[in-house]
Structure 1
Amino acid sequence: MSEYVIRFLVGGAVVSTFAMLGDVLKPKSFAGLFGAAPSVALATLGIAVYQHGAGYGAVQAGSMMMGAIALAIYSVIVCQLLVRARMSALPATITSMVVWFAAAFGLWFVAGGQV
């Protein structure tokens, strides 16, 4: 139970920090970008390092980075399908999910299946 309280407090503090950062930057759409994901990732990594050590935290950080790369690839493909191919949202999303999973598992395979 205390892990959830710590995650809540750390996540809330980091969300507030990123929200202030997003409020200062232009355009204002950065506020949403900086709002949730970085704070949850930082809180989770902090708890992982505290409970399991730096090696475990490094593996988790590597996994998060590979997931972010796969998500970026997915996002580019979705945008291309929506804008250039003029696909509707559902087929573009489903098609791009295949690419997302292929990118994620491909990165995992290249890393030797360790992450």
Structure 2
Amino acid sequence: MTEYLLRFVAGGLIVSAFAIMGDMLRPKSFAGLLGAAPSVGLATLGIAVVQHGASYAAAESWTMIYGAVALVCYSLAVRHLLMRSRLPALPATIVAFAVWLGVAFGLLTGFGGAA
């Protein structure tokens, strides 16, 4: 129960800090970008360092990087399927999800991580 409370408080503080930073930047679309993934990732890594040590958190950070690379590939695949192939949104995202899985697990298998 304490771990969940710690995650809630740490996540809330970091999300709030990033939201304030995003609110100060122009254009305002940065506020949404900064309010979600980076803040949750930092809170998770902070808790991982405290509970499991720096080497464990380092491995976890690499898996986050692999996921980000896979998300870029997914986004490019969706864009290609929507714009060039003229697929409807649902089939394009389903097909591109396979791209995300392949890239994410390929990077994890190829370079290692915490899985």
Same fold (TM over 0.5): yes
Question: 2:19–2:32: 8 Å Cα contact kept in structure 1?
Answer: yes
The secondary structure found in structure 1 opposite 2:35 is: coil
Q: Deviations over 1:26-72 (max 9, x none)?
A: 22122111112112111111111111111111111111111111111
State how far apart, in whole Å, the 2-side matches of 1:38 and 1:4 are.
19
Tell me by how many angstroms 1:99 deviates: 0.7
- In the other structure, the counterpart of 2:61 is 61
Q: Deviations over 1:52-94 (max 9, x none)?
A: 1111111111111111111111011112222232221101101
- In the other structure, the counterpart of 2:81 is 81
Percent of aligned positions that are identical: 58
TM-score, normalised via structure 1 length = 0.91
Letter paired with 2:54: A
Structure 2: segments with no counterpart, 5+ residues: none
Segments ≥4 residues shifted beyond 2 Å: 83-86
- In the other structure, the counterpart of 1:106 is 106
The number of residue pairs the alignment matches comes to 114
Question: 2:77–2:96: 8 Å Cα contact kept in structure 1?
Answer: yes
**Aligned-CA RMSD value:** 1.3
